[in-house]
Amino acid sequence: MIAYVKIYDYLKQILQKKAEKKETVIIIIDEMEQFATSKKQLLLYNLVDWAQTRDVRIGLLGVAEHSNMLQLLEMRVQSRFSNIQIIVPRPKFSQVLAFLEQSLTLDKTVLASYEGEVAESLKSYEKINSMWPPDSYLEEYQNRLSVLVNKTKSFRELIQFEYDAGETAGYFLQLALLAISELQAPTFENEDQHFLSTKIFEQVKDQFAVDYQLSIFQGLTDASIAILVTMANLNRTGQEYFTLEMVYMKWRQFHRKHDIIKQMLTRGEVQTVCEYLQQLQLVRDAGDAFGLNRAKMATPSDLPRRYRAMYLNFSSSILLDQIRTGSVSCSTRTREWALNPDDCD
């Protein structure tokens, strides 16, 4: 890890050189969600603030998967961005399926170009020929892949569920790579374990979900972590589903206990964070789980947001263990709220 002072000084030197040449600097921040931690926001703010005092012409471009990214930044950092947003629409579900099939296709002509390289790396093996997939396997693989993607209901429902949850094309590509890694080396006798299946995708999806959640935890703001902890504490009391109001009132108890109520977010701000957590799929919408809408013609989607139920999309013990071990950084107050909730009620 590079110390804050070192990276700050290094970037200032670059900007200083650009300023002397009267050049314009454009800073592009990829995966902006990972930049929402307080330390990284401080670096960004100080860097831009310093650049403006040196009359450096500077532009900031943040690339994020979620359109409400700016709302997660501190007000002073938000002020450095304009309200201009370019939103790229998601691909259609049919396009995602086509993308998956194309990504997983084994083209014989492409594979042939790597045959020499593979053979060279496998010289230590006695049966080199058996390590390279035979033509019969490649043909069977393509046939089964086509059936899986285009005709297998269970597979399409699995991908549809993730698509409806807002997953990006990058997620499906990573899912495909993980699925390929689960295949056993093909032989001349083609068996089921040598081909992709819905079962394999279900397994790697579960594996990927844990890794994804852990990486997301580490990029969340303290307020987001505190709200997740509040939901986890509701779980501890046997509450599987909860509304925005339940989360807000539970968190309010914590602030009142420590006499820091003035530091608490407003209901609107808590709602914004909850919506963001849903976009990250750490929290899922449960609709009218409490049966609040009694109207015969009404649907769960008709409920106002503050009454819609939510639930954690991961085991609360995962987050609490990460906080306990220090893998997830948070304030002392939030850590106390996570590890000693009974003392805060």
Q: Which tokens sit at 103?
A: 């990504």
Q: Is the pLDDT of residue 225 over 60?
A: yes
CATH code 1.10.10.10 region(s) in the chain: 218-344
What's the mean pLDDT in 276-283?
Answer: 84
Q: What is the model's pTM? A: 0.51
Q: What angle do CA 164, 168, 172 make, to 5 degrees?
A: 95
What's the mean pLDDT in 234-239?
Answer: 87
Average pLDDT, whole number, for the chain? 77
For residue 242, the 8-state DSSP code is B
> 166 burial class (0-12, 13-18, 19+ CB within 10 angstroms)?
middle
68 neighbors 269 (Cβ within 8 angstroms): no
- Tokens 């503050």 — which residue? 306
**HSE-CB of 226 using CA atoms within 13 angstroms:** 22
- Residue 228's pLDDT band (boundaries 50, 70, 90)? very high
pLDDT at 299: 45
> Structurally, what CATH architecture does the domain formed by 218-344 represent?
Orthogonal Bundle (1.10)
**Rounded Cα gap, residues 285 and 278, in angstroms:** 7
Q: Is the pLDDT of residue 263 over 70?
A: no
- Residue 96's pLDDT band (boundaries 50, 70, 90)? very high
pLDDT at 101: 93
Among the listed residues 250, 88, 266, the one whose alpha carbon sits nearest the alpha carbon of residue 169: 88
